[in-house]
Chain A
Amino acid sequence: MSADAGPRGFLRRFVFCSDHKAIGVQYLVLAMAMSVVGVGLSFWFRAQLAWPGAQIMTPEQYVMAVTMHGTIMIFFVVSAALWSGLGSLVVPLQVGARGMAFPVLGPVGFWTNVAGAAVMVASFFVEGGASAGGWTAYPPLSALRNSGAGALWGTTLWILGMALFIVSFTMGALNVVATVLNGRTRGLTLMRLPLATWTWLVSAVLGLFSFPALTAAAILLLLDRHAGTSFFLPSGLLVSGRPMPNAGGAPLLFQHLFWFLGHPEVYVLVLPAVGIAFDVLAAFGRRPVHGYRTTVWALLAIALLGMLVWGHHMFVSGMNPFLGTAFSVTTLLITAPFALLGVNLLASLWRSRIRFSTPMMFALALISAVGAGGVGGLFLATSAANLHLHDTYFVVGHFHLMIGVVTLMGTFAGVYYWFPKMFGRTMNETLGRIHFWPTVSGAFAVFVLHHFQGLGGLTRRYYEHTQDVFQGPASLHPAVTLLAYVAGAAQLVFLVNFAWSAFAGPKAGGNPWEATTLEWTTASPPGRGNWEGELPEVVGEPYGYAEGPDGTGFRMQNAEGGR
């Protein structure tokens, strides 16, 4: 492929475009569109929680809204924007490739993802409503078509939408693995990769290992629902007073299969956010990251241990208590490599000369969110503490900090940082600040308060908290809702900034941030084929900052340019 003008015609250029940069932008736009649905649902049910007397929704609508909010935000917002969007955009550029290893998988994967999103949205309009069994879709609730809200057709479409998502993710992950392993330019050894690309590689491998378990679970669930099988349905079921004919199935089997993916999925999303933060911290702190090697080893350790901890979601599920202890131990072991990541993030700021641009602000907030999220994890991973905290707002606050706040801080840092590589322009800094402050302070306030509500035992997925014992923690609901509205509304500033800057932002040169990795050695936006003429040849480490006699220079990874 050469750096020509590329194909012509609307369809080839915008719809079935195989250029990884365009696909990255398409994923970001998809994520923004789906975030309107996902965040809108949360605005709706947060109103119900804050003002239960107003009867803003029915209990059926409530369980549908929380189920679909979780599903859409995890798979069609965070994963689409952070993993697929920024990953498609950045990985080929950081490895010095003309494109992804399998260019056709790009548009096919993207449109499969769109189909999955469309099926999810369509499920609101089928008989019985959208799936309402929680984003975890535990059977028997999800396997019985007569079990209540959303059980008739919504859950079937939910399974279909998830299947399409998994197909799409698998294509993207294969592409990332092949591109990083086989598509690196001359001189770019694995230990010279920028950490962002390392995290995409590790998370792609992790996803490829873990998603098949969910695929299997989804197929078995579908069969239980429509083919009369009993994979997850035991004998002796009595639903709405009617004995069911099923026999021999095990509801816990689904939980094992689900979390065999579900837990690694957390790292699939969190690791790229951390990787982006490392790149941004170096570029705006004007010094190399601390502990590149130990970071890479920590990432690999997290990926390996991450596949051995799924049972910590099932401490009170009825799983053998001995297994609970085993999973508690492995889960707490994973805090060790995470602590290492945290220390390396922090130490990367030692003697830095920070340029406080918006990407850096988000990267710094990410460090805080990783710390706060990690601390909550210590409670939940301890099986004895989990006896009290399981299925409370403590869990809700914890996972929102990790797969909501950490991931979105990473996504925002990445979008503001790499925006020039999408549109050849930079985003507006003032709007960036206006976006940053309410987003970060609102998100922290909401999810930290969730933790304290959870200490009070406040159960999650409740339409209304009427128990006396919950009145104290539930009295915070209105305040939390208002804070969530502030943080959510601030995203409009981001959407406006994104759209406006794409067309009218200040033009960026090839390297507006004076960053050193390969994506900054080409034009903004890079043309088709990414580099005119020869591909860059890497001669050294990714983070050539603090160079020169006075320590303020920088060296590009291909040694051309720099100061």
Chain B
Amino acid sequence: MRRGERGAAGGLVLALFLAAIAVAVVALWFWRGWLPPQASEQARGVDRVISYIAAAAGLILVGGHFVLARFVLASRREGGPAYRPAGRRAELLLSVIPVAVMVAVTEVGTMVLGAPVWKDVHTRQPGDLEVEITGMQYEWLARYPGGDGQWGRRDIEEFDGAINPLALDPRDRAGKDDIVSRGVIVLPAGRGVWFSIRSWDVLHGFNVPAFRLKQDAVPGMVTHLRLVPSAPTPPGAPLEVACAELCSSGHYRMKAKVIVLSPEDYAKWLETAPRFGD
């Protein structure tokens, strides 16, 4: 009669298609290790949260799609069971159960698994090494306070793109032994690092995929991030920084390297690295 009704075969195809979406998503998840290597202790926590949500949400996704496919399939049958309204009880259950399940699943993810990670990366611990990161179009700079543990003052008038990109004030004694490293961030393995992140110009995103963490660099304020690099990087295979906040056309090439050293090698590097006052 109606043009659409010839499409019962289309219903079968559609039901298969809907089921296939769910199967494809699960298959893709297991196809290969999508997550980058874990290079920080915090990465384990983040990956645990992601895996938990993938399992819980994956079940919901697969279950939902199979129900959908089944209803589409069942409805092709002529003379199947006739419609009747859901009873009050069924309607109540179908309202309360999904709400309860979603709230339970999601709040467990964020409060039980997520909150400790979130707190960890935002809380400075005694003994953490403080490293200052500055973003500018289109490069990253790292600064270390040197032997005195004091940060030298900045004076914007002293900025010189070639020799003083952080605009350190040469008159400030505290800055004499500061170490400025352009495009390379050197960190000790196994020790907490407290990043203080700044930007000269526009927003940037300090992002090391292998650390599983990112934090925007915002001009006019200092943002922070804490992590513990887990192991020294092999020679020639540093970790990579990839800017994660659009900063105009050079955004894609705003990169830096992260070299993680053993505590001994790090101490050696710290002694030999050139100082600002040199």
Contact = CB atoms under 8 A, between A and B. Distances in A.
Given A59-B252, A352-B75, A291 B94 contact: yes
Interface string A330-347: 001101111110111011
A382 B49 contact: yes
A27 B74 CA distance: 38
A475 to B, nearest CB: 11
B213 A388 contact: yes
Contacts of B176: none
B49 A384 contact: yes
A141 interface: yes
Contacts of A144: 201-202
B105 to A, nearest CB: 8
A16 interface: no
A452 B34 contact: yes
B252 A465 contact: yes
A339 B252 contact: no
A235 interface: yes
A157 to B, nearest CB: 18
Contacts of A333: 103
A383 interface: yes
A383 B118 contact: yes
B249 A62 contact: yes
B25 interface: yes
A284 B71 CA distance: 13
Given A378-B53, A385-B114, A444-B21, A391 B214 contact: yes
A454 to B, nearest CB: 9
A464 interface: yes
Interface stretch (A85-93, A215-223, A238-246): A238-246
Interface in A527-560: 545-546, 550-551
Nearest to A341: B98
A429 B4 contact: yes
A317 B218 contact: yes
B201 A147 contact: yes
Nearest to A61: B249
Which of B17, B94, B107, B202 has the largest number of chain A CB atoms within 10 A? B202
B159 A238 contact: yes
B22 to A, nearest CB: 9
Contact of B202 (A140, A149, A243, A379): A140
Given A457-B36, A467-B255, A234 B219 contact: yes
Contacts of B74: 351
Contacts of A261: none
Contact of A351 (B32, B58, B84, B122): B84
Contacts, number: 344
B232 interface: no
B47 to A, nearest CB: 8
A388 B240 contact: no
Interface residues of chain B: helix, strand, loop or mixed (majority): helix
A503 interface: no
A384 B45 contact: yes
A355 B11 CA distance: 9
Given A388-B212, A390-B214, A391-B245, A368 B53 contact: no
Nearest to B92: A294
Interface stretch (A103-111, A119-127, A249-257, A494-502): A249-257
B69 to A, nearest CB: 9
B210 interface: yes
A285 interface: yes
B83 A352 contact: yes
Nearest to B245: A391
A387 B64 contact: no
B200 A238 contact: yes
Contact of B247 (A141, A324, A339, A346): A141
A317 B216 contact: yes
Nearest to A552: B82
A456 B49 contact: no
A53 to B, nearest CB: 15
A470 B46 contact: no
B86 A347 contact: yes
Given A335-B106, A356-B10, A448-B25, A316 B214 contact: yes
Contacts of B247: 141
A325 B118 contact: yes
Contacts of B5: 355-356
A356 B2 CA distance: 10
Nearest to B71: A349
A252 B10 contact: no
Which of A337, A371, A449 has the largest number of chain B CB atoms within 10 A? A371
A550 B201 CA distance: 72
Top 7 nearest A-B pairs by Cβ distance? A234-B220, A357-B4, A356-B7, A457-B209, A148-B248, A384-B114, A332-B106
Interface of B: 2-5, 7-8, 10-11, 14, 17-18, 21, 24-25, 28-29, 32, 34-36, 45-46, 49-50, 53-54, 56-58, 60-61, 64-65, 67-68, 71-72, 74-76, 80-86, 91, 94-95, 98-99, 101-103, 105-107, 109-111, 113-115, 117-119, 121-122, 136-137, 156-157, 159, 161, 167, 200-203, 205, 207, 209-210, 212-216, 218-221, 223, 239-240, 242-253, 255
28 contacts: A63-B246, A139-B202, A144-B202, A147-B137, A238-B201, A290-B86, A291-B91, A325-B110, A332-B102, A335-B103, A336-B103, A346-B64, A350-B86, A356-B5, A356-B8, A382-B53, A384-B110, A385-B114, A388-B209, A448-B28, A456-B35, A457-B209, A459-B242, A463-B249, A469-B36, A469-B210, A469-B240, A472-B34
